[in-house]
Structure 1
Amino acid sequence: MASSTLSPTKHQGGSFLLEPTTSDEIFTPEDFTDEHRAIARTTEEFWTKEVAPNVEGIQHQEPGLAVSILRKSGQLGLPAVVIPEKFGGMEMDLTSAMIVAEGISKDGSYSAWHGAQAGIGALPLLLFGTEDQKQRYLPKVSTAEMVAAYCLSEPQAGSDALAAKTRADLTPDGKHYILNGQKMWITNGGAADLYTIFAKVGGEKFTAFLVERKFPGVQPGAEEKKMGIKGSSTTAVYLDNVKVPVENVLGEIGRGHIIAFNILNLGRLKLGPFAVGGAKEVLRASIKYAKERKAFGKSIAEFGMIQHKLAEMAIRLFATESCSYRVVGLIQGELEGFSWSQPDAAKTMLKAVEEYAAECSFIKVFASEMLDYVVDEGVQIHGGYGYHQDYPVERAYRDSRINRIFEGTNEINRLLATGMLLKRAQRGQLGLVEAVKKLQAEILGGPSLSTAADEDSKLVENAKKVALLTLGVAYQKHMAALEDQQEVLAGITDISMNAFAMESALLRTQKLAKQHKGENAQDMTAVFLREAMEIVESSARTVLAACSDGDALRMNLAVLKRFTKFEPVDAIATRRRIAARLLSADRYSV
C-alpha cells in the first residue's frame, strides 16, 4: 500500500478538542506523493477522454453508456484503488482513493455510478467477505465486469435502517436462505449484477447477504424520477422467495449493523473529496462566466458583489479541502505499515476508520453544506443563464442536494458526531471530563492569558474552549438524557465541527507559509476563521440558553463573550484580493 507523507505523531479521535496540533502533524493536498499525483493525472485524463464527452448521454440514461464508461475506468483500476492486487486491484492507499473520488466528481451522475461501485459496492465484500467470497466476486467487481450495489434502505426504513422488514429464512435443509422484501433508493440498482442486501434472519437478526441479480426472484424496479443525479441508476429492488446459498452470508449472522455502520463511515469521509471536486468545477465555470459576461460596459467579474461570491466560494472550499484531507491523513497515520497480506488486515482498516467516526460525520455535514453554498452562488453568478439547462451549473445545483441526505442525513450526522464523542469519553477513550473540569477552573480563576502565539491561533483555541463549555453545561443539565436533546447535540456539533475546520485551515496555511507559499490561503483563512467564530458564538448562545437560566446563564454568556471576541479583518479588501487571484488563475488556487 502506498504511503502518505505523514508525521509519526498520532492523535486519538476527538482529541483535537483537548490538545494542540502543529502544522507538521497534519496531512494536506500539498503533501501528495508522486504516486498520488500520478493517479490524479490518470483520473483527469480518464475524465477528459471518456466522461466529459458523454455527460449529456449519461444524463439522458442512454442504454449501457454509463456502465460501459465504468468498465473502461475498471481497465485503469480506478474503482479498485485500495483493493489488493491479488483480487484485481491497485493496492494503493486510502489517500489515492480519495484523490480519485475528487477527480471523478465533476458530474454528480457519473460520480454516483463510480462511488457506488468503488465504495458501498466493493468495500463490504473487501472488508467483511470470506476468502472464498472475495475470490468469487472481487476481481469482477474491481474491473466493473460485475456492477455492484448496496441495498440497505427500505420504504419505511431510511435513517432507521435497523427497522428493516426484509426477511431471510433458513431452508429446512440448511443450505439456503429465502429472502423476501423490498429495498429502496438503490444506487446502481438497475444495472447491478451483485447486490449486498441486508435482511433480518428469522425476522430478527440483521444480516448482510451477497445476492446475484441472476438468482430467481431478484427484480430491480423502474428507474426513479429524481430531482438530480438523473443520469445515475436509482431503483427499488424486489425480492420474491430468492434462494441465497448460506455461503453468501456476508459477515456474521445478526452482525449486519457492523457492516452498515462501518461502510457509512467510509462513505461520509469520501463525500468530502467528492464535494471538493464538484465545487472546484462549479467555481471554475463561474470564474469563466464572470469574466466573459458583460454588463454596464464591463465584465461582471469586476463588480465587488461578484468578487465577494467567488471569494467566499473559494474560502469555504479551502476549509473543506483542508479538513477532509486532514482526516484522511489521520486515518492513514493509523495505517502506517499496513498491508493487506497482514493477519486481520480488514479489522485494522476498520479500526482506523472507526477511530475517527466523529470526524467523518463532520466532513459529511461540512462538505455537503459547502457544496450547496457553492452551487447556489454559481447559479446566482450566472443569473438567468444559471437557470437554463444549457449551463452545467443548473445541473450541479440539482445534483448537489442529495449529498445532505446520502450517507445518513446531515441531521443524523449532527446527532451522531457529538454522541460519538460522549461515548468515547464514557469508555475512557477521550478525556472530555478532565478537559471540561480544567476549563471550569480556568473560568473561575478569571481572565487568563491565552497560550496562542497570534490572533488566528487564539481564535482556534477559543473555539475549542466554547465546544468544551457547551458540552459541560449541557451534560450538567441533562446528564444521560442529553442523547434525547437533539437540538442541543446538533448545536454542539456545529461548534466542534467549525472548530475542527478552523484549525485544519489554519494549520494548512501555516504549513504553506513555512514553504513561502499560500498567499491566497492566508487571506482565505483570515476570513474563514472569523466567519466560523460567528457561527460558533451563535450556536453556543442557543445551547447555553437551552441548558441554563438566570444568573447561571448570564455568567455563561459572559464567558462566551470573552472567548468569542476578536479583532476583525477588512473582509471586503481581503475577499477582493482572493477574487483577483482566482480570476488570474482561472480556477481555484491556494
Structure 2
Amino acid sequence: MESTEKDILRGGQFLVKETNCEDIFTPEDFSEEQRMMKEAVTEFVDREIWPNKPRFEAKDYALTESCMRKAGEMGFLSISVPTEYGGMGMGFVDTMLVCDYISGATGSFSTAFGAHTGIGTMPITLYGTEEQKQKYVPKLATGEWFGSYCLTEPSAGSDANSGKTKAVLSEDGKSYKITGQKMWISNAGFCSLMIVFARIEDDKNITGFIVEYDKNNPNGITMGEEEHKLGIRASSTRQVFFNDTVVPFENMLSTRGNGFKIAMNALNVGRIKLAAACLDAQRRVISESVKYANERIQFNTPISSFGAIRQKIAEMATNCWVGETASYRAAKNIEDRIILRQNNGKDSHQEAELKGVEEYAIECSILKVAVSEYTQRCTDEGIQIFGGMGFSEDTPIESAWRDARIARIYEGTNEINRMLSIGMLIKKAMKGHVDLLGPATAVANELTGIPNFDVQDFSELFSEEKSIIANLKKLFLMVAGAALQKYGEKIEEEQQLMLAASDILIQIYIAESAILRAEKIAKKEGEANAKEQIAMAKLNLFHAIDVIETAGKHSIISFSTGDEQRMMLMGLKRYIKYVNMPNIIELRNIIASKIIKENKYCF
C-alpha cells in the first residue's frame, strides 16, 4: 500500500505524535539487494583500505586518490546519482548504507568520499541545469573527476553567508571573474571541479558557481600547502586562492543569490550522512577493543572479564546501536517523503529530494550531534581498554580517536547544530507544520490540575518505557513553552537555554528510536532472542533521563522564579519518574556478554 502524507510524520512531529514500532525502518529491514551492497562495500574496505591504515596515517594522499578511483570503478561514487547521468539512481537509504560502511576504516578516506559524493556532486544534481548535469555529473559519478566544495573562508565559518569572495561580471556579460580565498577545502589536492560560493556586487546572499580546475591550466587558481591536521591526515585539505578566475556565465549554479540556500541544503544532507559515516567506525573500534580485551591477560584472567571493562564495552555498543537506529529511521522518512512528492506529481526528482531532506532538517542536526559525540566517546574508551597500547600509533585506536574529533566540527559545529534544531522546530511551529502550542497548553493545564494517582499496568514489554518517553516529550514542551513565553522571538539570543533544550530534544528522538527498534525485533524474533537489544534500549533511556534531568533543571532555574519555578521543578520530577527502576549493571552485563562471546560488535 502506498504511503500517504498522513502516514508519514513530518520533520519534528515525533515530539508531539506517537509512533508505532511497525512504522519505523530499521537495519533488520534491509532488502536482499541492500545486504549485498553492504557486503560489497565492506569487502572493498577490508581489501583496499583497512590493511593500508599506516599509509593513510603517513599522509599518503596519492593512496586516497587511488582508492577513490577504485571506489568509482565499483560504482560506489554513483549510488545517489540518477541513471540518466551515469549513476545507479538508488534511494536515500541506499546512499546512507554505502556512506556508513565505506567509512569504517579511516576518516581520511571517509572525508574524501563524503566531500566528493555529497557536497561535491550533489549540488549539481539537485540545482544544476540539464546542460550542467549532462556535462559534469557523469564524470563525477565514475571517478574520472573528483569534486570539492569551496564555502569556508578565514572570516566566514559558521556564518557562511558572510564570505568576501567576489564574482564580477565581464563587460560582454559572458563570464564572471572570481577573486577570493577559501580554506579547509577537502579534496583540493586532486579535484577537477569545485563548487565555489562568491558574492556578486553587494548582493545580500552569495551565489554558487561550478569551477573547473586543471593543474596545467590553473586559470588564476593557486593552492596552499597541505594542512597538517590532528586527524584525517590523508584527506587532502588545502587553502584555495582565486585571482580573476574566469568562469563562464552558464556555470552559475541555480540562480543569482541562491548560493546560501544551496549551501544550507547541502549541509542538511551532509549532516545525516556524517552520522552514517560515524557508524562503522564505532563498530570497528568496538570489535578491535573486544578482541584486545579477550586476549589481554592480567591477574591470570582476560581483562574482558573485569566489570570495569564490561561496562565500557556495553556503553560503547549501546551508543553505536542507538545512533544507527535513529539514523536509518530518519533516512527512511526522508526517502518516503521524496517518493511521496514524486508520486504526487508535484515535483521533479531534484525538487522532491531537496524538499524531502529539508523536511527533516531537525532530525539531520540531531543525528549529526548525537552520533559524532557517540563516536568520540567510543574511540576514547577504546584507547582506555587498550591502555598504554592505545596511546601508540602501532594500534588502530589512536588514529580512530584523532579522526573522530573533526566530526563534531564540520558540517556545522555541534553547538550550531544544537541551536539549529531548536530554531528550526520553532519556525516549523510558527508555520503550522508542527503543532507545539496545543500540546504545550495541555501540559501546562496538566501541571496545574489534580495528578492522576491510578496505578498503571506496565506488564507488557516497554509499556513503562513508552510512558516515560511520552512524559519526556511533555517535559520538553513544559520547559520550551515557558521559555518561549518569557523570551518570545528573542529566545534565539539565549544560547545556553537553546543548547539545554536541544539536549532534551536529542535524547527524546534517540531514546524513542531505540525503544521502537527493540520492540520491533522482539515482536518478530521473540523477547528471548532480542534480550541484548532490549537491554540496550533500556540502558540508553536510563542515561537519557539523566541528561534530560540536568538540562531541564538548569533551564528551569535560569529563567523562572517563585511558584512558577517550584511548579516546573515538580513537573520535572514527575516526568522523569520510573515505577520500576532498571538494574543497570545487569543490563550492561547482558550486552557485554554477547559481544565478548562473539569477539566482535555483533548487532
| TM-score normalised by L of structure 2 | 0.95
Q: Are residues 486 and 415 of structure 1, via their aligned partners in 2, closer, same or farther at CA, if it must alter by over 3 Å?
A: same
3-state SS in 2 of match to 1:335: helix
Residue 459 of structure 1 and its aligned partner are, at CA, apart by 1.6
Hey, what's the Cα distance between the residues in 2 that align with 1:355 and 1:478?
A: 26
Q: Which of residues 474, 477, 481 is equivalent to 2:486? A: 477
Which runs of 5 or more residues in structure 2 are unaligned?
none
Q: Which residue of 2 aligns with 1:158?
A: 157
Whether the aligned pair in 2 keeps the contact of 1:165 and 1:203 (CA below 8 Å) is no
State how 1:19-418 maps to structure 2 within 5 Å. Answer: 19-62=17-60, 64-106=62-104, 107-204=106-203, 205-214=205-214, 215-336=218-339, 344-418=348-422
Letter matched to residue 333 of structure 1: D
Structure 1 stretch displaced more, 562-571 or 392-401 = 562-571
Residue 476 of structure 1 and its aligned partner are, at CA, apart by 1.2
The reply on whether 1:572 has 2:585 as its aligned counterpart is: yes
Whether the aligned pair in 2 keeps the contact of 1:167 and 1:203 (CA below 8 Å) is no
3-state SS in 2 of match to 1:168: strand
Residue 43 of structure 1 and its aligned partner are, at CA, apart by 0.5
Q: Are residues 86 and 340 of structure 1, via their aligned partners in 2, closer, same or farther at CA, if it must alter by over 3 Å?
A: farther
Residue 5 of structure 1 and its aligned partner are, at CA, apart by 11
Whether the aligned pair in 2 keeps the contact of 1:4 and 1:33 (CA below 8 Å) is no
Q: Which of residues 489, 493, 499 is equivalent to 1:490? A: 499
Letter matched to residue 537 of structure 1: E
Whether the aligned pair in 2 keeps the contact of 1:291 and 1:301 (CA below 8 Å) is yes
Q: Are residues 222 and 6 of structure 1, via their aligned partners in 2, closer, same or farther at CA, if it must alter by over 3 Å?
A: farther
3-state SS in 2 of match to 1:525: helix
Whether the aligned pair in 2 keeps the contact of 1:5 and 1:27 (CA below 8 Å) is no
Residue 550 of structure 1 and its aligned partner are, at CA, apart by 1.5
The reply on whether 1:455 has 2:467 as its aligned counterpart is: no
Whether the aligned pair in 1 keeps the contact of 2:75 and 2:142 (CA below 8 Å) is yes
State how 1:421-460 maps to structure 2 within 5 Å. Answer: 421-448=425-452, 454-460=463-469
Hey, what's the Cα distance between the residues in 2 that align with 1:589 and 1:557?
A: 41
Residue 295 of structure 1 and its aligned partner are, at CA, apart by 0.7
Q: Which residue of 1 aligns with 2:474?
A: 465
Whether the aligned pair in 2 keeps the contact of 1:151 and 1:184 (CA below 8 Å) is yes
Whether the aligned pair in 1 keeps the contact of 2:468 and 2:576 (CA below 8 Å) is yes
Residue 336 of structure 1 and its aligned partner are, at CA, apart by 2.7
Q: Are residues 442 and 522 of structure 1, via their aligned partners in 2, closer, same or farther at CA, if it must alter by over 3 Å?
A: same
Q: Which of residues 526, 548, 555 is equivalent to 1:536? A: 548
Q: Which residue of 1 aligns with 2:530?
A: 518
Hey, what's the Cα distance between the residues in 1 that align with 2:544 and 2:2?
A: 29
Deviations 1:207-238 (A, max 9, x none): 00001112510112110000001011111110
Whether the aligned pair in 2 keeps the contact of 1:17 and 1:464 (CA below 8 Å) is yes
Whether the aligned pair in 1 keeps the contact of 2:93 and 2:335 (CA below 8 Å) is yes
Letter matched to residue 226 of structure 2: E
Deviations 1:401-442 (A, max 9, x none): 000001000000011000000000111111001110111122
Hey, what's the Cα distance between the residues in 2 that align with 1:329 and 1:337?
A: 12
Letter matched to residue 299 of structure 2: F
Letter matched to residue 224 of structure 2: G
Residue 49 of structure 1 and its aligned partner are, at CA, apart by 1.9
Whether the aligned pair in 2 keeps the contact of 1:324 and 1:363 (CA below 8 Å) is yes
Q: Are residues 6 and 192 of structure 1, via their aligned partners in 2, closer, same or farther at CA, if it must alter by over 3 Å?
A: farther
Whether the aligned pair in 1 keeps the contact of 2:5 and 2:340 (CA below 8 Å) is no
Residue 338 of structure 1 and its aligned partner are, at CA, apart by 7.0
Letter matched to residue 255 of structure 1: N
3-state SS in 1 of match to 2:247: strand
Deviations 1:337-358 (A, max 9, x none): 6779976211111111111111
Residue 63 of structure 1 and its aligned partner are, at CA, apart by 5.1
Hey, what's the Cα distance between the residues in 2 that align with 1:134 and 1:540?
A: 48
Q: Which residue of 2 aligns with 1:11?
A: 9
Q: Which residue of 2 aligns with 1:546?
A: 558
The reply on whether 1:555 has 2:574 as its aligned counterpart is: no
Letter matched to residue 212 of structure 1: E
Q: Are residues 341 and 538 of structure 1, via their aligned partners in 2, closer, same or farther at CA, if it must alter by over 3 Å?
A: closer
Q: Are residues 143 and 94 of structure 1, via their aligned partners in 2, closer, same or farther at CA, if it must alter by over 3 Å?
A: same
| TM-score normalised by L of structure 1 | 0.97
Hey, what's the Cα distance between the residues in 2 that align with 1:420 and 1:464?
A: 17
Whether the aligned pair in 1 keeps the contact of 2:99 and 2:114 (CA below 8 Å) is yes
Letter matched to residue 303 of structure 1: F
Hey, what's the Cα distance between the residues in 2 that align with 1:338 and 1:7?
A: 9
Letter matched to residue 28 of structure 1: T
Structure 1 stretch displaced more, 364-373 or 56-65 = 56-65
Whether the aligned pair in 2 keeps the contact of 1:5 and 1:32 (CA below 8 Å) is no
Hey, what's the Cα distance between the residues in 2 that align with 1:78 and 1:358?
A: 27
